[in-house]
C-alpha cells in the first residue's frame, strides 16, 4: 500500500542528499572538531560554515548561532539561561506555546518568578497589543512562538518584538521558530533577540537544533562541560546532524518549491469543504496561518479513531502535536477554549514541499468517507 | 599518505554497519516515535529495544535507560537533577573528572552547596578509602569516573560505590562511564545508582548519550518539554543516533576483539621504552589502567609541537582530552600535580579494536624520531 504521509509537523523524512552527507561524515568528517590536527579543524570549519548557512536563511547578519541537540533544548537554554534572572523580574509567555517553552516558564514560576501567560484567540493567535500590555519595566523575557505547531497559527513576531521593545527596550524577546524556520519569511529580525530552530522539521535528521542570538544578548550555557560551541554548549557536537541541517536549509532556500505546501493546503481545504460538520481550527485569515499545517475538527468523531481508520488506508496524520499526543486531551485545546466536541474531533494534517495534489485529495476523500461511517456509530 | 588514527578517546570512526542503519533510518524508520500510527510505534519499539541492548551490555537487569544527546548532558542531568538538593546536603566529586562533571559540581558549589573534590594520585586514581572519608550523613551524591579520559586511570567504582553505601546508604553514586562502557567489565552494578555513557566513543555517531539509573533513584528531567523518554528527557529522540548506538554496543559485545586495544597498548609501550626521558602518566599497575588510553610525557618537548609534527606523518594523537584541548594547560595536569615540564610534554595516544600492531610501531618510532629532533632545538 502506498503511504500518504501528512504529519510533517511531527517530523519529516530526511532528504536524499543527507545520504551523501552521511557517507562523507562516516568516511571523512567524523573527527572530533575540538581536536588539534587538520582533519579535526576541517570538521570545525564545516560546523562554522553550517552556522553561516543557517543565519543566512534566518536573514540576519547580526545574529550568532549555537548548535544544540533539539528545539526543546534550544528553548530551555534561552528561557532558563537567556535573560537576567533577578529577584524582581517577570516573564511573559504565549498561552499556546510548545511544551518545551511552557514547561520552562512553569519551572521559572516554581522558582518564584512571576510569569504571565497570554490567552490566544481560538486559533492560537496572539496580538502585539496583548503582549505589550503584559510587558512592564521589570520584564526580563518575552516568548511567543512564530508558528503554532498544533493549529498552524502564524504570529506576527516582528510586530510583537517591536511592541515589546517599545514598552521596555531592555526586555529580551524569544520566538520558537521550530515550525516556521525556512517556511515563513521574516523581513526584519533586529528585535528578535533569540530564535530557536530544529533540523528534523526541515527534512534533516533528528538530534540537532540551534539558537540564533544577538551578540551582546545575555546567554549562558545550559549544558556544562568542555566548553564547545564557543563556551555556550558543551558536549561533542553532533556534526552529522549539523551538516545535514545546513544541507536541508540550503535545499529549502535554493531548490524547494516553497509554494507547494500552500498549494496543497488550499486544495485540501477546498476538498474538505464538502464534509458536514467540520470546524476549521486553523485561522481562516491567510495572514494569520502558516501554509503547511491544517487543524480541523470533525464533530462527532474522535480524532484518534479517525487517525487509526485513516492509517488503515496508509494515511498518516496526527490528533495534535506528536510531542503531547500520548498525554490525553490536548493542553492546547484547553488554552484555545475549544468545546469538548471540537477538542475531541481535532486532527492535524501537515504538508511538505513533496506533498502532492493527489495525496491530499485522497486524504480528504478518506476523511469524508470515514467521518460518515464513524458518525453512524457515534450519533445513533 | 595512510592515516594512523590514535585519538580514539576523543572520538571514533563510525562502524561500517552504521551505514546500513542510516539507510534503514532514512527510508523506513524516520517517523516521530511519539506519533500514534504503527510506523511510529515501530520506531518507538526499536528505541525500547536499544535501551535493553545498552543495559544488557552494562550488565544490569535492575537499571533503566534514558537517552540524551551526549555524555555531557547525561552527567549534567544526573548531577543537577539526580539527587535530593536540600539546603544542608553536600556533594563529593573526583578531582580529575571530565569537565562535564566538574563544571556541574562547580555550578552546585556556586549555588551554595558544599562540594568536596578528592585529590587523585598522580595517575588519576582515587581510592575507596578516600571517597568513604569524604562521605557523611548529609552527602547527597558522589561522582567518580570509571576511566579517566586523559590518563586512562581506571577507578574501582564497584568498591568505591560499596564504600559510599557502607558510609551512607542514602547517598547516591554516579560514575561517568563514557570512556569505560563496553571496554571495561563490571561484575556488580548494584551500588551504582547512575552510570553515564556516550555513543561516539564506541564507533557510533556523535549526538547520543544515555543515563543508566536504578529504579526508584531520584532523577528529574533536565530538558523540559513534551515528556519524551518516559517524561525524563524532552525533545524528539535522535533515533538514528540511538539505533547506531545499540548496533555499536552489540558489535562490542559480540564481535569486537576486545583484547586488541590492550595488545597494541603493550606493544606501543614496549616500543616507547627505548625513548629517553619519557614519563608514563598512565598508571603502571594494569589493575589501575584501562587498555585503550596511554598518556606519557616526552620531557623537553611541547606536546602540541609533537602532535603537529606527527600529524605531518599522518599520525593523529592528542595533547590531552580534546574536550579541553583548546583551553591551554590541562586542568588535569594541575590536579595530578605534574611538574611544568611533565604537563607541557604530555601526549595522549588512544586505541580501538581496529588499531594494528604496525600502526602503533610506526607511531612509537615517529615519536622517538621527532622527540630527538625537537629536543635538539629546545635543549640547546
| C-alpha triplet B37, B40, B45: angle, nearest 5° | 120
Whether A69 sits inside 8 A of B236 (CB atoms) is: no
Q: What percent of chain A shows pLDDT beyond 70? A: 96
State whether residue A176 sits within 8 Å of chain B by CB. Answer: no
Other CB atoms closer than 10 Å to residue B157's CB: what's the count? 28
Whether B107 sits inside 8 A of A224 (CB atoms) is: yes
- What pLDDT, on the 0 to 100 scale, is given for residue B376? 86
Lowest mean pLDDT of A263-272, B48-57, B141-150, B331-340, name the range.
B331-340
pLDDT tens across A300-331, in order?
A: 999 999 999 999 999 999 996 555 555 555 77
What percent helix, strand, coil does chain A show, rounded to 5? 40, 15, 45
State whether residue A223 sits within 8 Å of chain B by CB. Answer: yes
State whether residue B70 sits within 8 Å of chain A by CB. Answer: yes
Q: Which of A99, A224, A316 sits opposite B225 (nearest CB)?
A: A99
pLDDT band at B331 (very low <50, low <70, confident <90, very high): confident
* Cβ-Cβ contacts under 8 Å, A179 against chain B: none
Catalytically annotated residue among B93, B272, B290, B323: B323
Give the residue numbers of A annotated as catalytic, written as ranges.
323
Mean confidence (pLDDT) of chain A: 94
Q: Number of Cβ pairs closer than 8 Å across A and B? A: 258
Residue B93 has pLDDT above 80, yes or no: yes
* Cβ-Cβ contacts under 8 Å, A11 against chain B: 30-32, 35, 236
Whether A326 sits inside 8 A of B104 (CB atoms) is: no
Residue carrying the nine cell digits 509567555:
A93
Which of A37, A103, A308, A310 has the highest number of chain B CBs within 10 A, making it the mutation to test binding with B? A37
pLDDT tens across A99-142, in order?
A: 999 999 999 999 999 999 999 999 999 999 999 999 999 999 99
Q: For residue B339, report the phi and psi dihedrals to the nearest 5 degrees.
A: -70, 165
B224 to chain A nearest CA, in Å? Answer: 5
Residues near B120 by beta carbon (within 8 Å), at least 6 away in sequence: B94, B95, B96, B126, B148, B153, B335, B336
State whether residue A35 sits within 8 Å of chain B by CB. Answer: yes
Residue B3 has pLDDT above 60, yes or no: yes
State whether residue B42 sits within 8 Å of chain A by CB. Answer: no
CATH number for the region B17-254 comes to 3.40.640.10
- What pLDDT, on the 0 to 100 scale, is given for residue A289? 97
pLDDT band at B334 (very low <50, low <70, confident <90, very high): confident
Q: Which of B98, B107, B236 sits opposite A11 (nearest CB)?
A: B236
Task: Nearest chain A residue to B106 by CA: give it.
Answer: A224
Q: What DSSP character marks residue A330?
A: -
Whether A206 sits inside 8 A of B238 (CB atoms) is: yes
Mean confidence (pLDDT) of chain B: 94
Residue B325 has pLDDT above 70, yes or no: no
Q: Which of A36, A68, A311 sits opposite B304 (nearest CB)?
A: A36
Please identify, in words, the CATH class of the domain defined by A4-12+257-378. alpha beta
Residue B337 has pLDDT above 60, yes or no: yes
- What pLDDT, on the 0 to 100 scale, is given for residue B320? 66
The Cα A176–Cα B98 span in angstroms is 32
User: What is the pLDDT averaged over residues A150-173?
Assistant: 97
Q: Judge contact between B312 and B178, C-beta under 8 A.
A: no
Whether B238 sits inside 8 A of A240 (CB atoms) is: no
CA atoms within 13 A on the CB side of B376: 5
Residue B326 has pLDDT above 70, yes or no: no
Task: Nearest chain A residue to B99 by CA: give it.
Answer: A225
Which of B9, B72, B350 has the highest number of chain A CBs within 10 A, making it the mutation to test binding with A? B72
- What pLDDT, on the 0 to 100 scale, is given for residue A86? 75
Q: Judge contact between B143 and B93, C-beta under 8 A.
A: yes
- What pLDDT, on the 0 to 100 scale, is given for residue A59? 96
| C-alpha triplet A17, A21, A27: angle, nearest 5° | 145
State whether residue B225 sits within 8 Å of chain A by CB. Answer: yes
- 3 state SS for B159-209: HHHHHHHHHCCCCEEEEECCCCCCCCCCCCCCCCCEEEEECHHHCCCCCCE
Task: Nearest chain B residue to A330 by CA: give it.
Answer: B226
B352 to chain A nearest CA, in Å? Answer: 14
Q: Which of B19, B26, B223 sits opposite A72 (nearest CB)?
A: B223
The Cα A27–Cα A43 span in angstroms is 12
pLDDT band at A245 (very low <50, low <70, confident <90, very high): very high
State whether residue A207 sits within 8 Å of chain B by CB. Answer: yes
Whether B10 sits inside 8 A of A34 (CB atoms) is: yes
* Cβ-Cβ contacts under 8 Å, B234 against chain A: 72, 99-100, 103, 323
pLDDT tens across A69-95, in order?
A: 999 999 999 999 997 667 789 999 999
Which of B72, B98, B223 has the highest number of chain A CBs within 10 A, making it the mutation to test binding with A? B223
* Cβ-Cβ contacts under 8 Å, A44 against chain B: none
pLDDT band at A210 (very low <50, low <70, confident <90, very high): very high
A143 to chain B nearest CA, in Å? Answer: 15
Q: Which of B10, B72, B239 sits opposite A223 (nearest CB)?
A: B72
Residues near A355 by beta carbon (within 8 Å), at least 6 away in sequence: A6, A8, A260, A261, A264
A31 to chain B nearest CA, in Å? Answer: 6
B17 to chain A nearest CA, in Å? Answer: 11
pTM, two decimals, is 0.96
* Cβ-Cβ contacts under 8 Å, B100 against chain A: 223-226, 234-235
Residue B323 has pLDDT above 80, yes or no: no
State how far the alpha carbon of B249 is from the alpha carbons of A147, B58, B243, B253, B289, in Å.
Answer: 40, 10, 10, 6, 22
Whether A11 sits inside 8 A of B19 (CB atoms) is: no
pLDDT band at B327 (very low <50, low <70, confident <90, very high): low
Q: Which of residues 108-167 of A touch B (CB under 8 A)?
A: none
Q: Which of B68, B225, B236 sits opposite A200 (nearest CB)?
A: B236
The Cα A79–Cα A90 span in angstroms is 12
State whether residue A69 sits within 8 Å of chain B by CB. Answer: yes
Which of A323, A328, A332 has the highest number of chain B CBs within 10 A, making it the mutation to test binding with B? A323
Domain ranges of chain A: 4-12+257-378, 17-254
B279 to chain A nearest CA, in Å? Answer: 22
B9 to chain A nearest CA, in Å? Answer: 10
Closest CA to A37 of B134, B14, B318: B318
Q: Which of A30, A69, A311 sits opposite B69 (nearest CB)?
A: A69
Residue carrying the nine cell digits 575540538:
A34
Whether A223 sits inside 8 A of B22 (CB atoms) is: no
User: What is the pLDDT averaged over residues B208-229?
Assistant: 96
pLDDT band at B44 (very low <50, low <70, confident <90, very high): very high
* Cβ-Cβ contacts under 8 Å, A32 against chain B: 7, 10-11, 322
Annotated catalytic, B323? yes
* Cβ-Cβ contacts under 8 Å, B207 against chain A: 69, 207-208, 237-238, 240-241
B166 to chain A nearest CA, in Å? Answer: 30
Amino acid at each position: 500500500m502506498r503511504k500518504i504521509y501528512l504529519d510533517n509537523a511531527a517530523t519529516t523524512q530526511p532528504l536524499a542528499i543527507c545520504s551523501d552527507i552521511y557517507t562523507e561524515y562516516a568516511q571523512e568528517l567524523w573527527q572530533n572538531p575540538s581536536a588539534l590536527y587538520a582533519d579535526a579543524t576541517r570538521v570545525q570549519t564545516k560546523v562554522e560554515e553550517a552556522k553561516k548557512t543557517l543565519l543566512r536563511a534566518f536573514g540576519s547578519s547580526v545574529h550568532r548561532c549555537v548548535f544544540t541537540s533539539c528545539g526543546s533544548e534550544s528553548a530551555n537554554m534561552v528561557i532558563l539561561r537567556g535573560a537576567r534572572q533577578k529577584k524582581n523580574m517577570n516573564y511573559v509567555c504565549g498561552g499556546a506555546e510548545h511544551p518545551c517553552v511552557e514547561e520552562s516558564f512553569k519551572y521559572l514560576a516554581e522558582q518564584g518568578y512571576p510569569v504571565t501567560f497570554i490567552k490566544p484567540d481560538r486559533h492560537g493567535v496572539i496580538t502585539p497589543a496583548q503582549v505589550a500590555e503584559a510587558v512592564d519595566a521589570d520584564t526580563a523575557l518575552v516568548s511567543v512562538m512564530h508558528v503554532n505547531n498544533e493549529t498552524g497559527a502564524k504570529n506576527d513576531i516582528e510586530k510583537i518584538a517591536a511592541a515589546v521593545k517599545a514598552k521596555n527596550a531592555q526586555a529580551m524577546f524569544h520566538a520558537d521558530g521550530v515550525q516556521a524556520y525556512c517556511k515563513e519569511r521574516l523581513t526584519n529580525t533586529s528585535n528578535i533577540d533569540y530564535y530557536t530552530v530544529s533540523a528534523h522539521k526541515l527534512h534533516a535528521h533528528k538530534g540537532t537544533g540551534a539558537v540564533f542570538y544577538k551578540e551582546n544578548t545575555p546567554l549562558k550555557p545550559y549544558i556544562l562541560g568542555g566548553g564547545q560551541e564557543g563556551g555556550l554548549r558543551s558536549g561533542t557536537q553532533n556534526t552529522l546532524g549539523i551538516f545535514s541541517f545546513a544541507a536541508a536549509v540550503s535545499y529549502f532556500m535554493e531548490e524547494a518549491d516553497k509554494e507547494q505546501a500552500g498549494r496543497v493546503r488550499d486544495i485540501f481545504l477546498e476538498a474538505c469543504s464538502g464534509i458536514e460538520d467540520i470546524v476549521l481550527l486553523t485561522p481562516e485569515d491567510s495572514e494569520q496561518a502558516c501554509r503547511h499545517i491544517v487543524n480541523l475538527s470533525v464533530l462527532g468523531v474522535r480524532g484518534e479513531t479517525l487517525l487509526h481508520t485513516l492509517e488503515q488506508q496508509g494515511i498518516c496524520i496526527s490528533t495534535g502535536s506528536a510531542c503531547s499526543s500520548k498525554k490525553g486531551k490536548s493542553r492546547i485545546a484547553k488554552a484555545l477554549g475549544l468545546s469538548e466536541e471540537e477538542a475531541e474531533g481535532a486532527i492535524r494534517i501537515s504538508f511538505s514541499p513533496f506533498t502532492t495534489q493527489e495525496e491530499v485529495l485522497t486524504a480528504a476523500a478518506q476523511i469524508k468517507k470515514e467521518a460518515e461511517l464513524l458518525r453512524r456509530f457515534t450519533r445513533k
